[in-house]
């Protein structure tokens, strides 16, 4: 019974963090995706259609996907990218979002520095544009992700990875803060 409770908590946590990403204005529309790793599987947000946002997801909509075979018909189109990060790093959580100020600067070709939780500023890697959901994007992001766990994607957004979903959320907030400064 304890195993089931812990197992189900992951679905609630992904839905909760997804809601926070949207409500804090770190992504707009139906963009963005969130995942957490548990063993050889990840729990990831589903594909969204129409006017459904990250804030609208319930724990029952979160998809369990094997990391070694992330293509699931209902999983986020970026599930390959999340899985590739998990395969290449020891990170436990990934968020992909479109923070408006950061994306605006990236679209204009302005690369900015990102603070860490201690207030030190870092240059972060950025990658050129690759089609969303492509294996090329998944590979490029996983290869570029740095010690800070942040990658800027030209004309696409931001990916952050952490040891927990809360850590990844804080990193995403710091990216937007860095873009504002």
Tell me the per-residue pLDDT of 49-91, one tens digit each, with 9 for 90 and over.
Answer: 778 899 999 999 999 999 999 989 999 999 999 999 999 999 9
Query: What is the pTM assigned to this prediction?
Result: 0.94
Dist. CA 18–CA 32, nearest whole Å: 9
Q: Residue 44 pLDDT > 70, yes or no? A: yes
| Across 12-20, average pLDDT | 97
Q: Which of 61, 78, 136, 143 is catalytic?
A: 78
Average pLDDT, the chain: 92
Q: Residue 112 pLDDT > 90, yes or no? A: no
pLDDT number for residue 117 = 84
CB burial readout 85-95, b (16+ within 10 A) else e: bbeeeebbbbb
Using an 8 Å Cβ cutoff, are 105 and 132 in contact? no
Q: What is the dihedral of CA 125, 164, 17, 82, to 10 degrees?
A: 50
| Across 143-171, average pLDDT | 94
Dist. CA 25–CA 39, nearest whole Å: 31
Sheet architecture: strand order including 33-38: 63-66, 41-44, 33-38, 93-97, 157-162, 150-153, 126-127
Using an 8 Å Cβ cutoff, are 151 and 172 in contact? no
Using an 8 Å Cβ cutoff, are 83 and 76 in contact? no
| Across 151-165, average pLDDT | 95
pLDDT number for residue 12 = 95
Q: Is 84 a catalytic residue?
A: no
What is the token pair recorded at 52?
């459904």
Dist. CA 161–CA 110, nearest whole Å: 22
| Across 150-162, average pLDDT | 95
Using an 8 Å Cβ cutoff, are 86 and 80 in contact? no
Phi-psi region of 174 (alpha: psi -120 to 50; beta: other; left: phi over 0): alpha
Q: Which helix (H) or strand (E) holds 165?
A: helix 165-180
Q: Looking up tokens 């909509």, which residue turns up? A: 61
43 — phi, psi (to 5°)? -105, 125
């Amino acid at each position: 019974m304890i195993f089931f409770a812990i197992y189900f908590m992951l679905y609630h946590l992904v839905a909760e963090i997804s809601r926070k990403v949207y409500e804090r204005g770190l992504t707009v529309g139906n963009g963005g995706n969130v995942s957490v790793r548990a063993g050889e599987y990840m729990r990831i947000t589903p594909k969204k259609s129409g006017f459904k946002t990250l804030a609208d997801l319930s724990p029952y909509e979160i998809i369990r996907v094997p990391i070694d075979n992330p293509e699931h018909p209902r999983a986020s189109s970026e599930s390959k990218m999340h899985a590739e990060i998990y395969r290449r790093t020891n990170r436990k959580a990934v968020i992909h979002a479109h923070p408006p100020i950061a994306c605006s600067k990236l679209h204009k070709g302005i690369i900015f520095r990102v603070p860490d939780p201690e207030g030190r500023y870092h240059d972060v890697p950025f990658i050129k544009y690759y089609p969303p959901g492509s294996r090329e994007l998944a590979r490029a992001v996983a290869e570029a992700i740095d010690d800070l766990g942040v990658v800027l994607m030209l004309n696409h957004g931001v990916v952050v990875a952490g040891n927990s979903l809360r850590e990844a959320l804080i990193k995403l907030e710091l990216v937007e803060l860095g873009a504002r400064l």
